[in-house]
């Protein structure tokens, strides 16, 4: 049978090292691998399905559960979200949006970053800086964050003064022309025990910088934001390690109220110092 017509589950099993029984179990439980049905109702697969199964097996080899691994691979197939702010308003409307100025957002961002450094949990740390010179002003701080993180990346519109380098630490990832992230300000940290997010979108036409903002310790929101930024980093050539992917795909623990309180007290202290 030619490639254009696909092949059956037996060939898929042979090419992935699994058995037809295992693949059918995956299909019954998770609807994966889906393949395509012919007019006569027979399931047919392609080289793309072989690759998807191998991606699941690669994630499983790092310790990710089967359901989480399949979910991660399925998300990669879809067009990635390109805006943290859009994901927040679409998927987490209950968190609310507040209009904040730069001073408040700097204080909240520093609080999230300080907590990531203080806890010594080697979290994932990601940020968007709109323009490269804004990151340059914070480079020493982010160098220290990257040194103590499991992995760290920043995405921005870099220029000649500080060029993009997806292999650096933190990875410096160039945003595509026209990316919505060029208007966004994000700091997100995720560890096994804690997560925090500062997400803001600069409102155009304001008298002075004003941002529609979400500031939260809600783990699902932080993970959703981190996935958007990981997609942007990958698109720019960065290669996040497998344990980072596993961190976002495993449930983890919701951030304790005492930890959230400590972060926002840090923010108030920064505001108080001006």
Q: Out of 77, 107, 122, pick the residue that ends a domain.
A: 77
Residue 23's CATH number: 1.10.1660.10
Residues 104 and 126 occupy one common structural domain: yes
Q: Are residues 109 and 53 in the same domain?
A: no
pLDDT at 80: 64
Residues 118 and 213 placed together within one structural domain of the fold: yes
Q: Are residues 122 and 189 both part of a single domain?
A: yes
Q: Own/partner pairs for 6-10, CB < 8 Å, 24+ apart?
A: 6/35, 6/36, 6/44, 6/45, 6/46, 7/44, 7/45, 7/46, 8/42, 8/43, 8/44, 8/45, 9/43, 9/45
Same domain, 153 and 195: yes
Give me the average pLDDT of each 10-residue run along the chain (274 residues).
69 94 92 84 87 88 81 72 88 91 94 90 92 88 94 89 88 91 94 94 82 94 93 90 82 84 92 83
| Domain range enclosing 15 | 3-77
32 and 139 together in one domain: no
- Which pLDDT score is estimated for 267? 93
Q: Give the residue from 77, 111, 136 where a domain finishes.
A: 77
Q: Please tell me the pTM assigned to this model.
A: 0.75
Last residue of a domain, one of 77, 103, 136: 77
């Amino acid at each position: 049978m030619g490639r254009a017509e696909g092949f059956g589950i037996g060939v898929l099993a042979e090419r992935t090292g699994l058995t037809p029984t295992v693949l059918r179990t995956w299909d019954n439980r998770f609807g994966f691998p889906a393949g395509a049905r012919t007019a006569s109702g027979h399931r047919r697969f392609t080289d793309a399905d072989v690759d998807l199964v191998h991606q699941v097996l690669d994630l499983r080899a790092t310790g990710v559960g089967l359901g989480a691994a399949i979910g991660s691979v399925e998300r990669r197939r879809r067009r990635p979200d390109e805006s943290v702010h859009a994901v927040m308003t679409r998927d987490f409307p209950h968190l609310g949006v507040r209009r904040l100025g730069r001073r408040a957002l700097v204080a909240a961002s520093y609080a999230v970053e300080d907590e990531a450094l203080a806890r010594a949990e080697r979290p994932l740390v990601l940020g968007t800086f709109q323009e490269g010179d804004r990151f340059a002003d914070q480079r020493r701080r982010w160098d220290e964050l990257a040194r103590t993180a499991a992995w760290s990346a920043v995405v921005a519109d870099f220029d000649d003064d500080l060029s993009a380098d997806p292999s650096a630490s933190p990875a410096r990832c160039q945003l595509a022309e026209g990316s919505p992230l060029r208007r966004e300000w994000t700091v997100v940290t995720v560890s096994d025990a804690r997560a925090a997010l500062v997400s803001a979108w600069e409102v155009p036409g304001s008298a002075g910088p004003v941002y529609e903002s979400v500031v939260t310790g809600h783990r699902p929101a932080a993970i959703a934001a981190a996935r958007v930024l990981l997609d942007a980093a990958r698109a720019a050539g960065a290669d996040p390690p497998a344990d980072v992917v596993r961190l976002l795909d495993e449930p983890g623990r919701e951030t304790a109220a005492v930890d959230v309180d400590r972060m926002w007290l840090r923010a108030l202290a920064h505001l108080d110092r001006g």
